[in-house]
């Protein structure tokens, strides 16, 4: 395929572009000495946490890699080549009689791929966060000068992370594919099955990174708020609160490192899944483009994103009252438009237009989610206003109406994903490739849609990391006593940051929803290989089979139980922080008087330890339960029931996970913005006499009620919700890698 050169080109271009952006951000004014001092504390805290977190994850990952190598090596039959049999209208895609990759070699290669995926994910998170925590004081400093400069710095800082994540995924997957096929001399058709470990490694790190980071950030946030705002009555980000630095550190480790790992694994796992689906078509057509197509498409996405990002400053005006969302939206449209062009260039087969339409469906889905999320979580529309109104009668009605709004948001999500899946499947199945059935091209169509959507991933991720950078910049401005005008700019950026963070979550859910179907099909392809069912034949997973149904019930339950663990973890960790801040207030009265400084480092340290301890239980549950269910059903019920129960668990766990994650993300965002809506003075007393109308702003009972909602939403939207995205994809990758355990 002539466009294959695009892959290394785009990967390297992304690295260089990220390096340029990093250089550009770092050369800027790091702000006043006070700003630099706070930024320094945040930097130290964030890096220290990341180091400890990655050390823990590295140990788990090493053990898991060895376990994978041993388990796959011991139970697999090795990998057979995939070959075309028959001709004309009667083609079946079967397997060679003997394995071309020995089972121990398969185990070792899978284990190595797992480690490479895990390391790449960790590296992307580390470097991205390194730049992000260097950008915050520079954004704060820029805010003392102009909105335009502040947007530019924050977005470029965020884009470093975005581009590195994309580059490492692109280069990582393509390199390991190249090595496992060409270098080791394995057939192209089986290489995608050998590199599934890469996706598992990526999701493994993502799970713990998101859990640890999510628990850290929200435990610090909830703890700081409860002990500061509620108990001591001091404002947010007040330097007298010992937990305030931990809170600022949390924004980075949760939103920045966590979400980076999340999207890294989306891109990697969904890429590999799409490659596996391409194998059937490749076997018939013998064009390797069907396998590496996702990588090529993503390469064009890199260039589209570069153009979009570069354009943002041109749309930003010097008016400090411009809505910062406007230039970001324009940039996003440019990315989408150029992605369409990219889709047109990467033509596949004679009937390429069907797949082109599938790609359009994916891009449109991404745009739809950007609007759905904004509608449900921004103060400009009914949902958030309803919650703000309900705050008049106290915290209970705020929570009740908020819950109703959150549950309602799943409708738009499910309908959009449903339409996207059915449409891309229907379009794909129209493509007539002789010897390949409509079912196979249909599933491939959903893969193209997923890839189309992910073309803008680097841009979305840049906007996401924009969130913690501006949040931190606001904190630094407050903390360092910068002028009011700078605070005005960072407040406006911070509010946009909340929206962009919500968008990213919507985007991640949508990509997980689209990808669920393709990753499930990849799992079935793996099952087919082991059961010797031709790749282009359907292998029905009958939901009226009791094992599939029971597996599905357990899969849905896993999603609920995992969320319970994640939310409780935040509660547990927050209580440790509350105790510490209380202790500091009690033991040193000078802190409250403002004459002595609290011990920020100790609070940071306690938060880190608590978060690392609390991430273990949900992490182990997520990794362990699919395996345990598969083994129990296989050995208690029968040989064929293990993989069936796992299929049910995977599929119904995914559906439930998409909806529950949507609920958690959106309800949390809506509660947060209902609070901001009230703080902005939009809620007024009701009175027939216009002169007697008063603003129900900060400090009123309505505001206190909204703060309760906001606090409840914190672990929902920043711990449980994002961890669920990762869980969904982890279920797919773990079942792909561990499939031989469940199949006779």
Task: For the segment 578-637, give every residue that binds a second copy (CB under 8 A).
Answer: 578, 637
List 319, 538, 587, 639, residue binding a second copy (CB under 8 A)? 538
Closer residue to a second copy, CB minimum distance, 168 or 556: 556
Regarding 517 and contact with a second copy (CB under 8 A), the answer is: yes
List 449, 550, 661, 736, residue binding a second copy (CB under 8 A)? 550
DSSP string, 334-358: HHHHHHHHHHHHS--STTHHHHHHH
Judged by CB under 8 A, the stretch of 318-326, 479-487, 538-546, 610-618 that binds a second copy is: 538-546
- Among positions 310-349, residues that touch a second copy (CB under 8 A) are none
- The interface mask with a second copy, positions 353-392, x = CB under 8 A, is -------------------------------------x--
CA distance 51 to 49: 5
Q: Are 221 and 249 in contact (CB under 8 A)?
A: no
Rg (CA), the chain: 25
Q: How far is the CB of 297 from a second copy (least distance, A)?
A: 21
Q: How far is the CB of 410 from a second copy (least distance, A)?
A: 4
Q: How far is the CB of 738 from a second copy (least distance, A)?
A: 19
CA distance 264 to 166: 7
- The interface mask with a second copy, positions 690-719, x = CB under 8 A, is -----------------xx--xx--xx---
Closer residue to a second copy, CB minimum distance, 325 or 651: 651
CA distance 575 to 578: 5
Closer residue to a second copy, CB minimum distance, 496 or 646: 646
Closer residue to a second copy, CB minimum distance, 188 or 714: 714
Closer residue to a second copy, CB minimum distance, 97 or 233: 233
- The interface mask with a second copy, positions 218-237, x = CB under 8 A, is ----x---x---x-------
Give the number of residues written for the chain.
744
CA distance 704 to 694: 16
- The interface mask with a second copy, positions 443-472, x = CB under 8 A, is ---x--------------------------
Q: How far is the CB of 419 from a second copy (least distance, A)?
A: 8
- HSE of 570, CA atoms in CB hemisphere, 13 A: 32
List 59, 63, 380, 546, residue binding a second copy (CB under 8 A)? 546
Closer residue to a second copy, CB minimum distance, 15 or 426: 426
Q: Are 7 and 296 in contact (CB under 8 A)?
A: yes
Regarding 152 and contact with a second copy (CB under 8 A), the answer is: no
Closer residue to a second copy, CB minimum distance, 154 or 652: 652
List 26, 553, 616, 627, residue binding a second copy (CB under 8 A)? 553
Closer residue to a second copy, CB minimum distance, 299 or 424: 424
DSSP string, 240-259: T-TTHHHHHHHHIIIIIIIH
List 269, 460, 515, 524, residue binding a second copy (CB under 8 A)? 524
Closer residue to a second copy, CB minimum distance, 188 or 641: 641
CA distance 358 to 70: 40
Closer residue to a second copy, CB minimum distance, 22 or 644: 644
CA distance 442 to 228: 55
Q: How far is the CB of 739 from a second copy (least distance, A)?
A: 15
C-alpha 502 chain-centroid distance = 11
Judged by CB under 8 A, the stretch of 10-18, 39-47, 273-281, 573-581 that binds a second copy is: 573-581
Closer residue to a second copy, CB minimum distance, 413 or 490: 413
The dihedral region occupied by 436, where left means phi > 0, alpha psi between -120 and 50, and beta the remainder, is beta
Q: How far is the CB of 724 from a second copy (least distance, A)?
A: 11
Q: Are 610 and 576 in contact (CB under 8 A)?
A: yes
CA distance 591 to 649: 52
Q: Which two tokens stand for residue 398?
A: 């705020």
Regarding 575 and contact with a second copy (CB under 8 A), the answer is: yes
Closer residue to a second copy, CB minimum distance, 496 or 574: 574
Regarding 513 and contact with a second copy (CB under 8 A), the answer is: yes
Alpha-carbon distances, residue 448 vs 377, 432, 461, 509 (angstroms) = 29, 16, 20, 17
- Among positions 392-431, residues that touch a second copy (CB under 8 A) are 393-397, 399-401, 403-408, 410-411, 413-415, 417-418, 421-422, 425-426
Q: Which two tokens stand for residue 557?
A: 């339950």
Q: How far is the CB of 444 from a second copy (least distance, A)?
A: 12
Closer residue to a second copy, CB minimum distance, 195 or 519: 519
CA distance 552 to 651: 7
Judged by CB under 8 A, the stretch of 13-21, 166-174, 331-339, 537-545 that binds a second copy is: 537-545
CA distance 553 to 86: 41
Q: For residue 706, which of 401, 375, 255, 495 has the smallest C-alpha distance?
A: 401
- Among positions 650-679, residues that touch a second copy (CB under 8 A) are 651-652, 655-656, 658-659, 663
- Provide the b/e sequence for 564-594 (b: ≥16 CB within 10 Å): ebbbbbbebbbebbbebbeebbeebeebbee
Q: For residue 53, which of 577, 714, 610, 623 has the smallest C-alpha distance?
A: 610
Regarding 570 and contact with a second copy (CB under 8 A), the answer is: yes
Q: For residue 15, which of 135, 133, 160, 154 has the smallest C-alpha distance?
A: 160
- Provide the b/e sequence for 8-38 (b: ≥16 CB within 10 Å): bebbebbbebbeebbeebeebebbbebbbeb
Alpha-carbon distances, residue 401 vs 19, 272, 290, 390, 391 (angstroms) = 46, 41, 48, 7, 9
């Amino acid at each position: 395929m002539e466009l294959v050169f695009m892959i290394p080109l785009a990967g390297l271009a992304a690295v260089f572009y990220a390096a340029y952006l990093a250089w550009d951000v770092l050369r800027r004014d790091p702000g006043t000495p006070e700003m630099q001092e706070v930024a320094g504390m945040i930097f130290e805290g964030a890096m220290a946490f990341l180091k400890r977190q990655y050390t823990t994850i590295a140990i788990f990952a090493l053990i898991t890699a060895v376990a994978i190598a041993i388990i796959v090596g011991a139970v697999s039959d090795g990998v057979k080549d995939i070959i075309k049999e028959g001709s004309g209208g009667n083609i079946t895609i079967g397997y060679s009689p003997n394995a071309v990759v020995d089972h121990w070699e398969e185990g070792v290669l899978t284990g190595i791929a797992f480690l490479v995926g895990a390391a790449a994910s960790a590296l992307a998170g580390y470097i991205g966060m390194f730049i992000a925590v260097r950008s915050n004081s520079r954004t704060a400093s820029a805010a003392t000068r102009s909105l335009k400069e502040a947007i530019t710095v924050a977005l470029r800082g965020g884009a470093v992370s975005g581009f590195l994540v994309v580059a490492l995924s692109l280069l990582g997957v393509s390199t390991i594919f190249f090595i496992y096929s060409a270098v080791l001399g394995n057939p192209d058709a089986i290489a995608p099955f050998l590199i599934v470990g890469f996706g598992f490694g990526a999701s493994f790190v993502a799970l713990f990174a998101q859990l640890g980071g999510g628990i850290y950030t929200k435990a610090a946030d909830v703890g700081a708020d409860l002990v500061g705002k509620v108990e001591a009555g001091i404002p947010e980000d007040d330097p007298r609160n010992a937990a305030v630095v931990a809170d600022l550190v949390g924004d980075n480790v949760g939103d920045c490192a966590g979400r980076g790992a999340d999207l890294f694994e989306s891109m990697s796992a969904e890429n590999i899944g799409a490659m596996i689906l391409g194998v059937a078509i490749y076997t018939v057509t013998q064009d390797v483009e069907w396998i590496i197509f996702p990588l090529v498409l993503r390469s064009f996405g890199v260039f589209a994103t570069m153009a979009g990002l570069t354009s943002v400053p041109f749309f930003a005006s010097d008016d400090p009252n411009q809505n910062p969302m406007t230039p970001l939206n324009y940039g996003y449209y440019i990315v989408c438009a150029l992605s369409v062009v990219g889709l047109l260039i990467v033509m596949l087969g004679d009937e390429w237009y069907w797949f082109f339409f599938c790609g359009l469906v994916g891009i449109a889905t991404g745009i739809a989610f950007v609007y759905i999320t904004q509608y449900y979580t921004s103060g400009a529309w009914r949902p958030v206003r309803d919650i703000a109104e309900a705050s008049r009668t106290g915290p209970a009605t705020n929570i009740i109406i908020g819950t109703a709004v959150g549950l309602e948001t799943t409708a738009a999500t499910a309908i959009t994903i449903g339409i996207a899946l059915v449409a891309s499947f229907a379009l794909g199945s129209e493509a007539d490739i002789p010897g390949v059935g409509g079912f196979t091209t249909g599933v491939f169509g959903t893969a193209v849609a997923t890839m189309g959507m992910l073309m803008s991933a680097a841009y979305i991720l840049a906007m996401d990391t924009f969130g913690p950078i501006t949040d931190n910049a606001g904190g630094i401005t407050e903390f360092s006593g910068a002028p009011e005008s700078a605070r005005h700019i960072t407040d406006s950026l911070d509010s946009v940051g909340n929206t962009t963070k919500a968008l990213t979550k919507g985007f991640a859910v949508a990509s997980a929803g689209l990808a669920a179907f393709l990753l499930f099909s990849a799992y079935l392809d793996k099952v087919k290989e082991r059961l010797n069912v031709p790749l282009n034949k359907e292998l029905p997973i009958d939901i009226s089979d009791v094992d599939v149904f029971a597996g599905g019930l357990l899969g849905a339950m896993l999603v609920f139980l995992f969320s319970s663990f994640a939310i409780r973890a935040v509660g547990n960790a927050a209580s440790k922080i509350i105790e510490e801040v209380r202790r500091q207030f009690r033991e040193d009265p000078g802190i409250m008087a403002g004459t002595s400084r609290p011990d920020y480092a100790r609070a940071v340290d306690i938060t880190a330890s608590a978060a690392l301890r609390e991430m273990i239980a949900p992490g182990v549950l997520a990794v362990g339960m699919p395996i345990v269910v598969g083994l129990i059903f296989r050995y208690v019920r029968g040989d064929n029931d293990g993989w069936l129960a796992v299929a049910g668990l995977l599929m119904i766990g995914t559906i439930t996970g998409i909806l529950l994650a949507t609920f958690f993300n959106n309800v949390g965002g809506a509660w947060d913005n209902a609070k901001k809506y009230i703080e902005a003075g939009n809620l007024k007393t009701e009175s027939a006499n216009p002169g007697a109308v008063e603003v129900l702003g900060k400090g009123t009972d309505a505001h206190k009620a909204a703060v309760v909602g906001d606090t409840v939403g914190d672990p929902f939207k920043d711990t449980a919700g994002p961890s669920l995205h990762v869980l969904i994809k982890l279920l797919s990758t773990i079942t792909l890698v561990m499939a031989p355990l469940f199949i006779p």
